[in-house]
Structure 1
Amino acid sequence: MTGRNDALVRADAAVPEPRERRVRSVPAPAFVLASVCSVQVGQALGKGLFGTVGGPWGVVALRLSFAAAVLLAVWRPRLPERRGDILLILAFGTAIAGMNLVYPAMRYLPLGAAVTIQLTGPLVVSLFAVRRRRDAAWGLLAVLGLVLFSDPGSARSLPLTGVVFAVASAVSMGTYLVLSRRVGARLSGGGPLALAVAWAALLSLPAGVASSGTRLVSPKPSPWAWAWPSSRRRCPTPWSSPHSGGSRPAWSVCCRAWSPWWPVWRGWPSWRRR
């Protein structure tokens, strides 16, 4: 009788809750597309705030601090008991902080160029992790998109400082993907992510305070007020020459949020002529 009760308990535990079933019913590509849109629009808006909060380091500090405050309030996590788990969370948070080096890169590079370099990190990780030809084909298609996107003549003229920041962001993003899987396998819930983002915020605050000072808490007026009149100008291509931080209209910056789809569009010149 006891064995039968144990079997019933295990069967009940194996049945997912209604909310979990609804989440599983959403196709995985939908989550990927939503993530891409969120990240790209967020980065475009972040670059538009350089002049408001005093530069990219201030944007990084505010971004991570706000995210940490929200996640800590929602999950209210506790520190893991095992030393190995704590070190894993610290490494995870360091990778998250490193991913945000794409913002300092945007100070020297156009948004499209910085994001393209950053995306090479997860692309390399995905190519090394593939086990099926079908998955490898998708990875090679992404490589083709990057090749179509890049302009060798423009790439030679990119500032070295911006390229170094973007490459560091790419390495961190690839590391983030690897560590996120390990964290998910060893620890459950959103608590580990909240702790990792909090650690990333602590790492970014010194640079943010040193760079922006009091503008972190009392920023200049938002550029949205003068974004609309300049929106009548043609939005530049992602590889155009960069402007100084904060001088680019917010509308123009948001226009570039579609940069991940630019390789596909640029790869269809013959189709557009038909």
Structure 2
Amino acid sequence: MSVGDRTLKVSNLDKVLFPATGTTKGEVLSYYVSHADQILPELADRPVTRIRFPEGVHKPHFFEKNLPSGAPSWLPRVTVPTPGSSKGRDTLTFPLVTDLAALVYLVNLGSLELHVPQWRVDEDGEPLPPDRLVIDLDPGPGAGLAECARVALMVRERLEGVGLATRPVTSGSKGMQLYGDLEGTRSSDEVSQVARSLAEQLAATHPDLVTAKMTKALRPGKVFLDWSQNNAAKTTICPWSLRGRERPQVALPREWEDVEAAAAGDLELTQLTIDEV
């Protein structure tokens, strides 16, 4: 396969990765190639963690942070500190996805899900302060995207009140994320505290709908407003990435007017697949 000025070997294009829909590896690669203009800016300069499903979503999968074994020398990479790593490492070397060839290489390895932190690296590979805040809206049992939409409007109002515009993304799994662009002058700890304060305020004023605690017993019928994803060591699904669920659903940026309609009960907001996208 010719990708830019590189020739890549892609394999098993007829392999079914999503048995429920019959979606093949070739169709997954086609999705990523056709939406490269959307996803590459989201991935740019961010260390990429992959969740790989080499035999499909119905078979075992695994997280991969380090550079893949046997990665070609041309694949961009960055070595960053990883304090508190569960494997006791001080650093990890992540791939960077700077162009279509790098994207195709990783997806061909079965990397259906691409996860990134809220910060980027500079031209020397040094981590920068976070350039965005994320609020993860995770519905508990009995809640869904309609409830997430209602909470999303509350979050938007609070953040707009301090001059921070947000954009909504349906996660491709159960809930939503809201992203707000930052100037990159605050640390991850400071951003996390802002997000935590927001979550706790909304949980206090809307206890029937919002919880700021992960405790399962508190979550039925409510939306868990997860502020912890702003921790420098954590990642969220990259907008436009596929998810390794039963159907080939996408973490998809949405229009606020659709979120408003869903909150009002005028539209059923759903997680969309690659065919629907």
TM-score, scaled relative to structure 1: 0.26
Structure with the higher fraction of residues in strand conformation: 2
Report which of the two structures shows the higher radius of gyration computed on alpha carbons: 1
Structure with the higher fraction of residues in helix conformation: 1
| Larger RCO: 1 or 2 (CA < 8 Å, sep 6+) | 1
